[in-house]
Amino acid sequence: MKKLFFFAALVGLLQTVNAQKYITRTGYIRFFSTTSVEDIEAKNYQFTSILDAATGELVFKGLMKSFQFPKALMQEHFNEKYVESDKYPNAEFKGKIKDFKSEILKVGKVVEVMVEGDLTMHGVTKKVSEKGTVELKADGKVVAKSQFKVKPEDYSIKIPSLVRNSIAEVLDIFVDIEYSPLEKK
């Protein structure tokens, strides 16, 4: 009888852990552009994201002005001329890990997943579907990673012909998020 009670309590505890929500306010997203003229890279450590481990739902949101470039002039042009950060301050993704089951989160196991949802930038929302990985760490944190491509023109981001050869038509986007359990109050 004690074994049955212990097993039932353990199952209940696991369900509580698996129903956990995870959050980060320091999500890392970087983009990279390479052309024969120059390479351009920008990093942003200020994306907020929430992962619901019961449903696989994800939300990302970040300020476009938080992208840091190696050259101040690149950053100024990015914000003022291309993404128009004052008019469109945020990039946002709302979606879900396809066919997600909370049981896939096992300590130390990197699991390949497909994430589907809506990516909004520069006032334009597009459906996206991209591969990624998730891993539950021994300390209870969840690490999620993805790499995908974005065409600025798909989001009505216009690149002036004067610098068209300096910016790739397709940008490589890298996402590396470490989520912590959301504290229940």
Question: What is the C-alpha R_g of the chain?
Answer: 19
Residue 8, domain member (yes or no) = no
Q: How far apart are CA 58 and CA 106, in angstroms?
A: 19
Residue 7, domain member (yes or no) = no
Residue 9, domain member (yes or no) = no
Contacts of residue 168, Cβ cutoff 8 Å, sequence gap at least 6: 33, 34, 35
102: three-class secondary structure by DSSP:
helix
Question: Do 108 and 138 meet the contact criterion of CB atoms below 8 Å apart?
Answer: yes
pLDDT at 34 over 80: yes
Q: How far apart are CA 133 and CA 112, in angstroms?
A: 4
User: In this structure, what token pair is assigned to residue 15?
Assistant: 């369900």
Q: How far apart are CA 150 and CA 91, in angstroms?
A: 13
Please give the residue range of the domain that contains residue 117.
21-181
What's the confidence (pLDDT) of residue 160?
A: 84
- The pLDDT of 90-117, averaged and rounded, is 94
Q: How far apart are CA 43 and CA 141, in angstroms?
A: 22
Residue 5, domain member (yes or no) = no
Give the tens place of pLDDT for each residue, 131-172: 999 999 999 999 999 999 999 999 999 988 888 889 999 999
Residue 91, domain member (yes or no) = yes
CATH code assigned at 160: 2.40.128.110
Residue 35, domain member (yes or no) = yes
Q: What percent of the chain has pLDDT over 70?
A: 89
When the pLDDT of each residue in the chain is averaged and rounded to a whole number, the result is 89
What's the confidence (pLDDT) of residue 161?
A: 85
User: In this structure, what token pair is assigned to residue 124?
Assistant: 């334009």
pLDDT tier for residue 103 given thresholds of 50, 70 and 90: confident
What's the confidence (pLDDT) of residue 7?
A: 39
Residue 103, domain member (yes or no) = yes
Residue 45, domain member (yes or no) = yes
Number of domains in the chain: 1
What's the confidence (pLDDT) of residue 142?
A: 95
Q: How far apart are CA 173 and CA 167, in angstroms?
A: 14
Can you list the pairs that 159-168 forms with residues at least 24 positions away whose Cβ atoms lie under 8 Å?
159/82, 160/81, 163/77, 165/35, 165/36, 165/37, 166/35, 166/37, 166/38, 166/40, 167/33, 167/35, 167/40, 168/33, 168/34, 168/35
